[in-house]
Amino acid sequence: MNGGPLTPDRRTLLSIFAIAFGLRVLYAAVIGSDPDVIANPLSYQHQVASMIAAGSPWLGAPVTPNAPGYILVLALVYSIAGSHLWLGLLLNAFLGATTTVFLYRIGERRLAPGVGLLAAVWLGITVHQIHFASVLGRYVLVVFLWVWIFHIITQHFSRMRAAVWLGILVAVLLHVEPMFMLLVPVFALGFLAFATRHRLLNVQFTLLFVSTVLMVSLPWAIRNALVYREPIPIALEAIQYTGPFTGVFVQKNPEMLQELQGPHPRPTPWHNTVELWRVVRLTDSPGDAARGVAPQSAWSLRHNLISLVNYGLLLPFLVTGVVIGWRRRNRAALALTMGVAGYWLLRAVYGANESARLPVEPLIILLAFYGAASILARRRRNRTAGVDST
């Protein structure tokens, strides 16, 4: 806190962080340790990270074609204090709690008073987010980076260094979850149209953003060219999203797809068990014995009740927030709306599962509370106007 006084704003931030962090640690200790809830917390990422932390060569060796971002962060933590499960869980708890701080800043500074506090608390206590913090996967880091990116996008760009920061964050996100490479053109077009109020500066901002993404990704492209004979600037896992270009890489390196973690078939788009916006599950889930996922009945409380709270209750307020943001031309609300729509369409095309909804939840929560706050503010104004007229 820069050594300054503990102001009310800082006390709020500290309280939000403490609640979110404490709940994630408590869940991991009490519930996450139950094998019926999390069959195997020691994930594939944990195994690779432990191997790297132990000194195994990885930079010049084909360790894994999966995205290296979370693995390397986990390996760094393990190299400092040892490959212990709880170090990874504490890292996830820290990332999840820090995400709530970003959410608070976006809501309070760029939407409406009280929105940030409610949204941050809601995200901090959301069971869906807490549950996946107890799994050593990349989900929590993806949400953290995604919300950080929108923390920057939702403000007016007064300096070109914002393009550099966004380029670095987006490049890092691509190395954690390559799927987001499909949204890079969307970001570029958005910056080209709305980054500033001047077209020439928009072009400069966009070029700086794209150049930064490419420059940050260049070292990994060189590494892939040397190790896999494929100069792909991000993880080879990205070939799952390259459509007709996938065949080119598979022909050169046919064993590549077999090495990718989770070679199970891609979920069918729009199916009720994998659709991004799901309120209830209508059919039984067979589970996945190979991955330690137990079967679930269609009307299990874990899926339906949590989904109903996270999505069903917030849906009308989300729609209200989108409409009000459009009418007021609120930059932050419009950016969040585009983020929700872009991510939803992306996952609708490529299929989604329970963990895939994690990154879009914070944006949904912000827009929903923005809509609720706008309704309450309008009612207060109408009530005040009625009193004044009498």
* Torsion sign, CA atoms 271, 273, 276, 278: positive
In this prediction, residue 156 carries a pLDDT of: 84
The mean per-residue pLDDT over the stretch 92-105 comes to 95
Share of the chain above pLDDT 90, in %: 31
User: What was the pLDDT predicted at 267?
Assistant: 41
Model pLDDT for residues 319-331, shown as the tens digit of each residue: 899 999 999 989 8
Query: For residue 108, what pLDDT band results from cuts at 50, 70 and 90?
Result: very high
Residue 389 confidence (pLDDT) above 60: no
pLDDT, greater one: 17 or 44: 17
For residues 53 and 98, is the Cβ–Cβ distance under 8 A? Answer: no
Over residues 30-46, mean pLDDT: 70
Question: pLDDT of 240-293, one tens digit each?
Answer: 776 544 544 444 555 555 554 443 334 444 344 444 455 555 667 676 666 556
pLDDT at 92 over 90: yes
CB-based contact 106:364 (threshold 8 Å): no
Question: pTM here?
Answer: 0.84
Measured in whole angstroms, how far is the alpha carbon of residue 93 from the centre of its chain? 14
pLDDT tens digit sequence for 41-51: 667 788 888 88
Question: How many CB atoms are closer than 10 A to CB 162?
Answer: 20
Nearest to 340 by CA among 316, 362, 320, 325: 362
pLDDT value for 261: 42
- What tens digit of pLDDT does each residue of 153-211 get? 998 887 888 999 999 999 999 999 888 888 888 899 988 888 888 888 889 999 999 99
Structure confidence at residue 145 (pLDDT): 96
Least confident span in 75-79, 253-257, 311-315: 253-257
pLDDT for res 275? 45
Tokens of 296: 């679930």
Distance CA 274, CA 314 (A): 19
- Here the tokens at position 225 are 């060219």
**pLDDT value of position 346:** 78
